Amino acid sequence: QFEMMVPEMFRKERKLMDGEDIDIDDVIENMIDIKSGASPDEKFYWRRNKVQRDVAVAFLLDTSASTAEAIDEGKKNQDDWDAPDDPVEYMVWLRTRRGEQMRRSYKRIIDVEKESMVLLINALEAIGDVYGIYGFSGYGRENVEFYTIKDLQENFSDRVKKRIDRIAPLHATRMGPAIRHTTHKLDQTDARTKILFLISDGRPQDRGYSREGVEKEYAVHDTRMALDEAKDKGINSFCLTVDKNGHDYLKTMCSDMGYEILEDINDLPERLLVLYRRLTM
């Protein structure tokens, strides 16, 4: 049972008249005081006081077009970059694409993300951690998309369930702004432990943000800068991706902040719980 992960955290309280046991260090200090002629302090007991678990976590979901990729072998892959540049042609392409998705009979990456969120919510509700769930995408620097599925201070409700149902693949993967906005939300909480958990299926990319060539690396470094800014605010970040070729950019993007590449997308729900436990213990 996931609720059993709630740790028994204790703080040692010293210099008490009565308690669980004698503190040897305080006894020695007391003997030194007696020999030196100073007035002894008879408070040399200690006890453990239980510390309340105090965690706030924000899950940031990649809802880019590539999350429409079928996870069943042999299905056609989707690509963030097969969209036309012309705005009118893009809207025609988008309507066609969504029509195809409505007729699908296979499971996609984003479907597994949604299943994972449902399991995670059940676990987090059981242990009482503060949590938020957000989605992000983008279509150029003027169209950064950030969606609140469940805000940090919001109670779980039927409205949250409906938002989860409506999660759908959108455009590109503009990570930096989404991470910065999530960082701002976490920074407003008073939790002792703050975690930003990024779930993605590929490298950061968007129009004018990471096309092949020079801009491709700019997106990685901008994301790294956003994660550094979160770290400076006392927020621990972790990235979980299903991109099997992710090491080439993740070692730069995440560095010492921690990341993991999931070999099988079907393991996402279980792996999320394992990693969350590890990060908050």
Q: How far is CA 117 from the centre of its chain?
A: 11
pLDDT attached to residue 73: 46
- The tokens describing 169, both together, are 């693949």
Query: Do residue 123 and residue 157 come from a single domain?
Result: yes
pLDDT at 18 over 90: no
If asked whether residues 70 and 38 sit together in one domain, one would say no
Domain enclosing residue 197, as ranges: 55-280
Q: For residues 260-273, give the mean pLDDT.
A: 79
Same-domain pairing of 193 and 237 = yes
pLDDT of residue 59: 93
Contact (Cβ atoms closer than 8 angstroms) between residue 126 and residue 134: no
How far is 194 from 56, CA to CA, in rounded Å? 5
Among the listed ranges 8-22, 94-108, 175-189, 264-278, which one has the minimum average pLDDT value?
94-108
CB 135 within 8 A of CB 167: yes
Question: Which has more pLDDT, 149 or 119?
Answer: 149
Residue 211 tokens read as 């096309």
Cβ atoms 244, 263 nearer than 8 A:
yes
- Give, as one character, the DSSP assignment of residue 234: T
- Per-residue tokens: 231: 């770290």
Range picked from 4-8, 69-73, 237-241, 274-278 for highest mean pLDDT: 237-241
The CATH number of the domain holding residue 275 is 3.40.50.410
Confidence of residue 196 (pLDDT cuts 50, 70, 90): very high
Q: Is the pLDDT of residue 182 over 90?
A: yes
Q: Which segment of 29-33, 77-81, 157-161 scores lowest on mean pLDDT?
A: 77-81
Q: Work out how many domains the chain is built from and give that number.
A: 2
What is the distance between the alpha carbons of residues 223 and 184, in angstroms, rounded to a whole number? Answer: 15
Q: What pairing do the DSSP bridges indicate for beta strands 193-200 and 10-16?
A: unpaired
Name which of 123, 131, 256, 246 is nearest 185 in CA terms. Answer: 131
93 burial via Cβ count (<10 Å: 0-12, 13-18, 19+): middle
147-179 tens-digit pLDDT: 899 999 899 888 998 888 888 777 877 888 889
Amino acid 94: pLDDT: 66
Residue with tokens 């703080």: 11
pLDDT of residue 93: 66
Q: Give the residues across from 259 on adjacent strands.
A: 239
133: phi then psi, degrees, rounded to nearest 5: -130, 125
Statement to judge: residues 111 and 93 lie in one domain: yes
Are 112 and 172 within one domain?
Answer: yes
| Residues composing the chain | 281
Q: Do 108 and 31 lie in a common domain?
A: no
Task: Specify whether 65 is located in the same domain as 28.
Answer: no
Structure tokens at 155: 């109670």
Sheet containing strand 45-50, edge to edge, reads: 10-16, 45-50, 21-22
Query: Could you identify the residue written with the tokens 């990319």?
Result: 205
Same domain, 63 and 150: yes
- Find the DSSP H helices in 54-157: 87-102, 109-127
